[in-house]
């Protein structure tokens, strides 16, 4: 299995902050990396696919970068609606796996 | 606009079979891959498996001996069966569409682009 490790597991930030979340794969996955946002009691929402492509309808304040084993999700200016848990997910292998999640909380 | 609606019991007894159905509206299931994903309370996401547009399946090895994903194209539905359940199978279960992008070298970019609403399934006697 390809293990996905996110850091940090949680973070506290203020409205307007620039936030960066990191995801590391246990082996190279090229750009087969997606990012999701999940709010309590809701299904995850796809934000970024193929490491850096913005899903249709998603705000451009979200951006993704990286390839190989190291990836980042950046929120350019954190807004109240962005407080949520974020997950990375690889689609390189036939067993798709998620990171453990990063919870973004209000400072 | 494609929408997914899950249905099935919220309570299953230990050793019995968990059965969920996902009804797809606004699109044909024969055109995409479809997946089941679960999330134990307070924990992360786990992909259970998927069924392809041709009907072939792929399962998480940790669940492979107990899981079956099937589809009914006449009803535009796909289903999950997980047998011999235990308390460890208590989770929120999601159905999701797998959007496919460019393919190269036998691999296709893919992502869960549309999700059903959450269905909490508790395993308890």
Q: Give the model's pLDDT for residue A19.
A: 97
Residues 32-51 of B with CB under 8 A from A: 35, 44-47
Instruction: Find all residues with CB under 8 Å of B54, minimum gap 6, and list them.
Output: none
Chain A residues touching B118 at Cβ < 8 A = 41-43
Q: Give the model's pLDDT for residue A20.
A: 98
Q: Give the model's pLDDT for residue A94.
A: 87
Compare all CA atoms of chain A with the CA of B60 and give the residue at the minimum distance. Answer: A95
Chain B residues touching A45 at Cβ < 8 A = 115
What are B1-31's pLDDT values in tens digits? Answer: 999 999 999 999 999 999 999 999 999 999 8
Both tokens of B86, joined, read: 């235990």
Q: In the beta sheet, which residues pair with residue B15?
A: none
Chain A residues touching B94 at Cβ < 8 A = 43-44
Q: Give the model's pLDDT for residue B100.
A: 85
Beta-strand ranges (E) seen in chain B are 3-7, 11-12, 18-25, 33-39, 46-51, 57-59, 67-72, 77-82, 91-104, 107-115, 119-123
Query: What count of residues does chain A have?
Result: 107
Q: Contact at 8 Å (CB) between B47 and B84?
A: no
Q: Give the model's pLDDT for residue B104.
A: 81
B93 part of contact set with chain A, CB < 8 Å: no
What are B104-117's pLDDT values in tens digits? Answer: 877 889 999 999 99
Report angle CA A29, A33, A35 to the nearest 5 degrees.
155
């Amino acid at each position: 299995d390809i293990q996905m490790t996110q850091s940090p597991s949680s973070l506290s930030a203020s409205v307007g902050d620039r936030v960066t979340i990191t995801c590391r794969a246990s082996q190279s996955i090229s750009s087969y990396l997606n990012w999701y946002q999940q709010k309590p009691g809701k299904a995850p929402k796809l934000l970024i696919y193929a490491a850096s492509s913005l899903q249709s309808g998603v705000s451009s304040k979200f951006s993704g970068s990286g390839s190989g084993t190291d990836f980042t999700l950046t929120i350019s200016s954190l807004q109240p609606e962005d407080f949520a848990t974020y997950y990375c997910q690889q689609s390189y292998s036939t067993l798709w796996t998620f990171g453990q999640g990063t919870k973004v909380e209000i400072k | 606009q494609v929408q997914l609606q899950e249905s099935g019991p919220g309570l299953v007894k230990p050793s019995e079979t968990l059965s969920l159905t996902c009804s797809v509206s606004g699109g044909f299931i024969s055109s995409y891959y479809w997946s089941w994903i679960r999330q134990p309370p307070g924990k992360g996401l786990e992909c259970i498996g998927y069924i392809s547009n041709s009907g072939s399946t792929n399962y998480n090895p940790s669940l492979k001996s107990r899981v079956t994903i099937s589809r009914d194209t006449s009803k535009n539905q796909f289903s999950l069966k997980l047998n011999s359940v235990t308390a460890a199978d208590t989770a929120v279960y999601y159905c999701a569409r797998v959007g496919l992008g460019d393919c190269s070298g036998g691999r296709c970019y893919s992502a869960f682009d549309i999700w059903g609403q959450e269905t909490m399934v508790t395993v308890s006697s």
